[in-house]
Amino acid sequence: MEFFDSHSHYNDEKFDEDRDKIIEETYKSGITKIVCAGYNIKSSLMSLELSKKNEFIYSICGISPNDIPQSEQELWKDIAEITKIVTQNKNKKLVAIGEIGLDYYWNKENKELQKQAFIKQIGLANKLNLPIVIHSRDASIDTIDIIKNYKVNKTGIFHCCQPNQEMVRQALELGYYISFAGPITFKNAKNSIDVVKMVPIEKILIETDSPYLSPEPNRGKRNDCRNVKFVAQKIADLKEISIEEVAKITYENTMKIFGI
Ligand code: NI
């Protein structure tokens, strides 16, 4: 059985001590493809570097809503920089622009700047003919609004999707994929379970978002890509199919949306 972890952060400093070892163990344990997601300039550069060094790692680059600079001027500087980086490094292993989007849970004060950064990076994805990976937290209405008004040619993925049925319904209608992470395994995950049930398996991706959000039974510990199996198992239980099928179908879905 092989798994594709569609979203992780081996570029995070929490892996500075043992990154190479964890990467090796990840592959050995059957996680034979992973995406390493950037969220600002530095982490995007590192995700590119990891994808160049490791055959099975793919990269995505972008400025996340939680990494928006203070001023508009600084934001344009960062956007120009990320544009330069992805244009210069455009290769088969750079598979999307992300993670990008809106986060009104952590940042309520700069909604306008978040929206501008999101829209600008959608333009970048379209220019490079890439899909996007969306981070949306407590911002479902504005997120849907933006992807409706600024159409992404290759669509994309709602990563670590929040259990918001209306948002998911609209995302599916717009042709997006839904990626589930550790929280669907938590004991209080009633809403998430309803959302997993409403998404057809052909539209589901699995991820860890490591080093955060470890699934049960490893909740609270540092997360790594090997734990994606627990997310797959939960989906198998909810969909009443085998984990082998979940592994296979989500693998194919991920290859398809990222054009691998
Ligand atoms: Ni992430």
How many angstroms separate the CA atoms of 150 and 157, rounded? 15
| Strand ranges, E, within the chain | 3-8, 31-37, 57-61, 94-103, 132-137, 156-158, 177-180, 204-206
Q: Distance from the CA of 9 to the center of ligand 1, in angstroms?
A: 7
pLDDT recorded at residue 191: 84
How many angstroms separate the CA atoms of 135 and 149, rounded? 18
pLDDT recorded at residue 205: 98
pLDDT recorded at residue 162: 86
Q: Is 138 exposed, middle or buried (0-12, 13-18, 19+ CB in 10 A)?
A: middle
pLDDT recorded at residue 59: 98
Q: Distance from the CA of 58 to the center of ligand 1, in angstroms?
A: 14
pLDDT recorded at residue 88: 94
Q: Distance from the CA of 206 to the center of ligand 1, in angstroms?
A: 13
Q: Distance from the CA of 160 to the center of ligand 1, in angstroms?
A: 8
Query: What domains are defined for the chain?
Result: 3-258 (3.20.20.140)
Q: Distance from the CA of 100 to the center of ligand 1, in angstroms?
A: 10
pLDDT recorded at residue 100: 98
Q: What is the pLDDT along the chain (260 residues), one digit of tens a residue?
A: 999 999 999 999 999 999 999 999 999 999 999 999 999 999 999 999 999 999 999 999 999 999 999 899 999 999 999 999 999 999 999 999 999 999 999 999 999 999 999 999 999 999 999 999 999 999 999 999 999 999 999 999 999 988 899 999 999 999 999 999 999 999 888 888 899 999 999 999 999 999 999 999 999 999 999 999 999 999 999 999 999 999 999 999 999 999 99
pLDDT recorded at residue 208: 98
pLDDT recorded at residue 167: 96
Tell me the two tokens of residue 243. 């984990």
Q: Distance from the CA of 207 to the center of ligand 1, in angstroms?
A: 9
Q: Distance from the CA of 7 to the center of ligand 1, in angstroms?
A: 6
Q: Distance from the CA of 214 to the center of ligand 1, in angstroms?
A: 13
Residue 73 is which amino acid?
Answer: Q
Of 132, 126, 227, 124, whose CA–CA distance to 184 is shortest? 227
How many angstroms separate the CA atoms of 212 and 196, rounded? 20
Q: Distance from the CA of 187 to the center of ligand 1, in angstroms?
A: 22
pLDDT recorded at residue 252: 98
Q: Distance from the CA of 110 to the center of ligand 1, in angstroms?
A: 20
Q: Distance from the CA of 209 to the center of ligand 1, in angstroms?
A: 5
pLDDT recorded at residue 195: 94
Q: Distance from the CA of 200 to the center of ligand 1, in angstroms?
A: 23
Residues near ligand 1 ion, CB 5 Å cutoff: 209
Q: Distance from the CA of 254 to the center of ligand 1, in angstroms?
A: 16
